[in-house]
């Protein structure tokens, strides 16, 4: 099998595993007490979130330009460590709610953070990124109802296209993050002897036209479409359809749509140029949601209730 195709398949498996992992969290351990927002149906929440994200992105680029990468690294590692601790702790609540859960969460977080600092190889980056993705998808999924999630997916898809094909600042951000070895992307090697520690800057590889030794996918490309998958499961009715909860069927239909979008995206990626992932991934998830909701519930309301 071609190395690039194998890398795509592995990346696809991680993509699906993260979505299913988040669904397990939403269905078993995450409840209303873990929601990040008081009103999950407020469509202004994703707008404010996106504005904050854009400001933060340009702040990071400015800090990188001023060669203050250590500040960015410290902030990201702190956020990642907290998220890993939170995800492991909440997951451990399935078996224990006391000292054992706390101890395991601290130990796992300490080990992963240590390797992120001392030896951030690709498998360490991927492990940390996968845990973060599962946790963030789950938290946002129970915190945002269908309407705000749709707003989030559509606006971020447009922003992603502009930032990759227009301003191209997202490419610069990815390049900077790659050099700092931060766990906000997936790294899938094409060769067995690949080392992320020796990874050349992405911009340099593009300018040289050299073959890439690994494939990369930002965690946002996993998390954002995943929010709709988890939100559908959390907020939609659990009425049985052919013996299966309707909300689960719609969630899986949304997942299938995002996987189709992933497949189309990878066809472009294999041609060698940077691609905006969210237009296809979010578009696939939204189409999958719409089709599956209509088939399952027989309604054009799409489970959307107006906030005002």
**Mean pLDDT per 10-residue segment, the chain (308 residues):** 84 95 90 85 88 82 77 86 91 82 94 93 92 93 94 93 78 71 86 82 62 83 96 93 92 97 90 82 97 94 80
pLDDT at 52: 86
Return d(Cα 274, Cα 308) in angstroms, integer: 40
* Adjacent-strand bridge partners of 214: 189
Alpha-carbon distances, residue 86 vs 7, 148, 183, 226 (angstroms)? 30, 24, 16, 19
* Adjacent-strand bridge partners of 240: 245
Nearest of 217, 185, 208, 177 to residue 72 by alpha carbon = 177
List, in order, residues 6 or more apart from 15 with CB less than 8 Å away. 217, 222, 258, 259, 262
pLDDT at 249: 97
CA dihedral (173, 177, 178, 184) positive or negative: negative
What are the domain boundaries of the chain? Answer: 3-297
**CB of 11 within 8 A of CB of 218?**
no
Predicted model pTM: 0.90
pLDDT at 307: 63
Task: State both tokens at 34.
Answer: 């873990």
Helices (H), the chain: 3-28, 44-65, 69-92, 99-118, 122-143, 146-161, 169-180, 202-208, 219-235, 246-269, 278-297
pLDDT at 22: 94
Alpha-carbon distances, residue 161 vs 71, 100, 276, 282 (angstroms)? 28, 45, 5, 12
Return d(Cα 8, Cα 218) in angstroms, integer: 14
């Amino acid at each position: 099998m071609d190395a690039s195709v194998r890398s795509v398949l592995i990346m696809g498996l991680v993509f699906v595993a993260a979505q299913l992992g988040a669904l397990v969290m939403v269905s078993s351990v995450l409840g209303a007490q873990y929601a990040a927002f008081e009103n999950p149906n407020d469509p202004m929440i994703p707008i404010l979130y996106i504005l904050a994200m854009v400001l933060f992105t340009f702040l990071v680029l400015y800090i990188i330009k001023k060669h203050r990468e250590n500040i960015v690294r410290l902030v990201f590692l702190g956020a990642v460590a907290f998220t890993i601790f939170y995800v492991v702790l909440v997951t451990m609540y399935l078996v224990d709610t006391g000292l054992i859960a706390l101890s395991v969460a601290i130990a796992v977080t300490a080990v992963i953070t240590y390797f992120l600092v001392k030896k951030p190889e690709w498998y360490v980056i991927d492990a940390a990124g996968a845990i973060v993705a599962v946790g963030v998808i789950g938290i946002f999924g129970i915190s945002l109802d269908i309407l705000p999630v749709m707003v989030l997916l559509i606006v971020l898809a447009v922003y992603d296209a502009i930032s990759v094909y227009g301003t191209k600042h997202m490419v610069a951000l990815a390049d900077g993050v790659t050099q700092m070895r931060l766990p906000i992307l997936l790294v899938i090697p094409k060769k067995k002897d690949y080392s992320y520690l020796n990874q050349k800057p992405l911009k340099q590889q593009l300018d040289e036209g050299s073959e890439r030794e690994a494939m990369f996918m930002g965690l946002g490309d996993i998390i954002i479409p995943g929010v709709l998958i988890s939100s559908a499961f959390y907020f939609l009715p659990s009425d049985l359809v052919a013996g299966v909860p309707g909300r689960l069927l719609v969630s899986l239909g949304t997942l299938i749509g995002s996987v189709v979008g992933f497949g189309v995206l990878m066809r472009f990626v294999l041609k060698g140029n940077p691609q905006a992932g969210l237009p296809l991934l979010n578009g696939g998830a939204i189409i999958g949601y719409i089709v599956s909701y209509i088939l399952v519930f027989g309604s054009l309301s799409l489970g959307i209730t107006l906030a005002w």
